[in-house]
Structure 1
């Protein structure tokens, strides 16, 4: 048996903390202000500590209340999504995806409307995070796209989404007439991508060029690195797959495409459970994803 307070008390507290008002919480839950106040007080008695600080016309959460509010918000979001899924038509399916953040924002997210239009009976539930997901434990997730290295686990099929070109990228405004890329790369600010498999020392060694000995600003997401490069901070060393929109719009250009040695790596990996390979929603998404990534259908395990 779960040791948790009455759900009604938790609901009253969450609404009051979120709206910072007993009155507004009462209106939302269709109860009296007195009832909401008593329910919150009963919850505080359960924990033996204050969760809210009462002011004249508003309330403020205590540190303990803020932690509880944050957790309850996530839980209620999940409950709401689950209830919405029950209302779907009998033929509808829900596909739960988890992706590396920059891949989600820069590549997969912009393409998902196309998948949803083509497969209107599949509802997407999408989350992102830098830490890899263990699909042998996270049974609620149908498929993941991870960054860095393939996560090999028993019963899980992992497929690389193709090699990605890793190149120097900068805003066109940083280019200078009459100055070659080999000189510019030594003068411009270099932006580090903290989680990248290819670092600036790797790239300079690959090209046989001395690495400039000066500080480099750094970011922990490829999307942030690309944004900084677009703003003219300096040169990013990033995947052209993630930068495809900026390159297409002319916000970024590849520095020294005809000068420097090409460098490519497999950096993103698609994973799904082997015993669910033929589940309709997984099979259709896999086929669509591989098509978008330019992977031959017979490349992946079936």
Structure 2
């Protein structure tokens, strides 16, 4: 048996914490303000510590209450999503996709509306994280798209999603059309992507140049580095796959495509369980994803 307080008490606390009011929580849960107060007090007795500081006209969470609220909010979101999925039409399917954050924001997310319009019987539940996950243990995830590497295990299909060209990207406003690009690369501010598989040292070395040692702005997500480059902070060394919208709108330009030696790497990997490859939701999503990337089933 799980050692957790009565769910009714947790529900009362979550509503009161979210709404910052016992009165509003009572209205939401169709209870009296006194009932909410008693339920919160019983929960505080269970933990042996206060969760709220009672003021004259309001309540404030204690540090312990804030910690509980943060965790409970995530749990209630999951419960709500699970209940919504049960209410779907009988033929509907839910596909749980785990995706690297920058790929999710910059590439996958903008394309999901088209997928959902074409495949209305499949509901996407998207989560993101920087770490590769092991689908032999993470049974709640159907398909994973990870950055840098993927867990290879018996029973899993893992495939790279094609090589991505890693180029210097910056706002057009930073470039002086009258000065050689090589000299500008040595002077302009550079932006580091901390998790990138290609570093500035790699790029400068490939082009027979010395990498500047001056301080550089640094970001732990490619999407953040791209946004910083759009804002004129400097030159980001990033995948043009992730920056395709910024490039198409002219917010960024790729520097010296015909002048510099550029680097390509396999950086994103798709994985799913082999014994679920035949499931319609998995098969449909995988085929759509590879098609969007211009990759065949055996590429």
TM normalised by structure 1 equals 0.98
1:256 Cα offset (Å): 1.1
Match of 1:235 in 2: 235
Is the Cα–Cα contact under 8 Å of residues 44 and 50 in structure 1 kept in the other structure? Answer: yes
Task: Decide whether the 8 Å contact of 2:107 with 2:242 is kept in 1.
Answer: yes
Q: Which residue pairs with 2:51 in the alignment?
A: 51
In the other structure, the counterpart of 2:201 is: 201
Q: Which runs of 4+ in 1 moved over 2 A?
A: none
What do the CA deviations read for 1:95-147 (whole angstroms, capped 9, x no partner)? 00110000000000000001000000001111111122121111011011000
Alignment size in residue pairs: 299
Corresponding residue of 2:225: 225
Q: Is the 8 A contact 1:150 1:160 kept in 2?
A: no
Alignment match, 2:112: 112
Q: Report the equivalent of 1:121.
A: 121
Shift of 1:248: 0.1
Per the TM alignment, residue 262 of structure 1 is displaced from its structure 2 partner at its CA by 2.3
Q: Partner of 1:132 in structure 2? A: 132
Counterparts of 1:17-96 in structure 2, within 5 Å, are 17-96=17-96
**Secondary structure in 2 aligned to 1:297?**
coil
1:251 alignment counterpart: 251
Contact 1:95/1:125 (8 A) holds in 2:
yes
Determine the C-alpha separation between the residues in 2 that align with 1:170 and 1:84: 43
| Equivalence for 1:268 | 268
The answer as to whether partners of 1:97 and 1:124 remain within 8 angstroms in 2 is: yes
The corresponding residue for 1:160 is: 160
Contact 2:116-2:123 within 8 A present in 1 as well: yes
The answer on whether the counterparts of 2:171 and 2:232 sit within 8 Å (CA) in structure 1 is yes
Please report how far the alpha carbon of residue 289 of structure 1 lies from its aligned counterpart in structure 2 after TM superposition. Answer: 0.1
Deviation at 1:151, TM superposition (A): 2.2
CA shift digits 1:166-189 (9 cap, x unpaired):
000110011112211111110100
Deviation for aligned residue 1:213:
2.0
The 8 Å contact of residues 133 and 150 in structure 2, kept in 1 or not, is answered as: no
| Structure 1 unaligned spans of 5+ | none
Secondary structure, aligned partner of 1:60? strand
Deviation string, structure 1 residues 55-103 (Cα, Å, up to 9, x no partner): 1111111111111111111111111111111111110000001100000
RMSD: 0.8
The aligned residue for residue 288 of structure 1 is 288
Q: What is the CA deviation profile of residues 237-279 of structure 1, one whole-angstrom value per residue up to 9, with x for unaligned ones? A: 0000000000000000011111111210000001101111111
Q: Does 1:181 align with 2:186?
A: no
Q: In structure 2, how many angstroms separate the alpha carbons of the residues matched to 1:225 and 1:241?
A: 14
Structure-2 separation of matches of 1:119 and 1:298: 23
CA distance in 2, matches of 1:68, 1:137: 27
Q: Is the 8 A contact 2:132 2:149 kept in 1?
A: no
Report the alpha carbon displacement of residue 150 of structure 1 after superposing the two structures with TM.
3.0
Contact preservation (8 Å) 2:132, 2:150: no
